[in-house]
Structure 1
Amino acid sequence: MRDDGDIDALIAMMARLPGLGPRSARRAVLHMIRKRGALLGPLSEVMTRVARDARECLNCGNVGTQDICDICRDNRRNIGVICVVETVADLWALERAGVFKGRYHVLGGTLSALDAVGPEELRIPKLSARVESEEITEVILALNATVDGQTTAHYIADQLEARVTLTSLAKGVPIGGELDYLDEGTIGAALNARKPV
């Protein structure tokens, strides 16, 4: 009789990842076991380091291994422009497009009365403080084109109007679309065609 407890536990954990179901998780685990020297050991080491070192950037909310992320520390970035996104996945999607050279602010979600998510549960007060304390000239609202995303954008616009120029992504981003699922060309075109809020 075989004891597959740990292997089954690994498959179950992998199946909890987005985009992987039980079958895909089994295939991935079997592949890693077959290539254990090249994949399983190094993956285990990297995951241990990430579990130990990963943290949110104290400035923008991005994920990295230091208190201030690489983007916030990059002196080549335009410090006067902040792009506001819902999640780190959205920030990474914009970075993949390679067209935005400013800095970011990750809200950590959207306003939602149904889920009891108000401004204090998000990083909206921190955004307002950044606009006050940093030399911000423009805030780009790059929130998803969902009802909650647009509600959040309107709330932020009300909070920041008259303090800074507000723009949003062009509507080339489809209604109901999420940045993480868009290709780099669509993201780039939408960012370049942004308009005043």
Structure 2
Amino acid sequence: MSLQLGEIAPDFTLDSTEGKIHFHEYAGDHWVVFFSHPKDFTPVCTTELGAFARRKNEFETRNTRLLGLSVDSVEDHKRWSRDVEDVGGTAINYPLLADPDLEVAKLYGMFHPKADPKVTVRSVFIIDPNKKVRLTLTYPPSAGRNIDEILRVLDSLQLTEGRKLTTPVDWKPGDDAIIAPSVSDEDAKTLHPGGWKTLKSYLRLVPAPKN
């Protein structure tokens, strides 16, 4: 099974390093970055989880909670957290789910047996406060993720939410946004009284809202 954009992220209950997690309850009215890593005590995962821990406050300022998952036990997660802190300077400071039976991994499509029959791949889901899946990324076990890119897409999703805007290639906060093609020039005058720059009839750039 693989989740598609716009679907409700399935609810579940699993043990974690911070006790039992009921996912929808944990999410509440926050955005959630939910990610899987293949296995504890492995090199790439150690660097990744430390990076998420170091930058947790950047997600919190975006009303976003972090949630990790792997096939290992809570006891292993807690022992491994010491290594994560030694390597990255910050211990794991968000819940890390234990999914030894691959229950949630299979529910979310994090388990790709042709890639590796024993562990999860590196999946990332951005889930909005309505519990809808807004982004999916899948990396192979051999490639570490880019935290900047996850934050960049999160910023784009939050900026464009309900605004009839999109963001162009390599967009980052502060750059111009694009007026959605579904918005006529007449309606755009009301939405953007300061005007816009037309590159093509279907490509109109406008300063991104400040908040």
**TMscore range, shorter length:** under 0.3
**Which of the two has greater helix per residue?**
1
**Which of the two has greater strand per residue?**
2
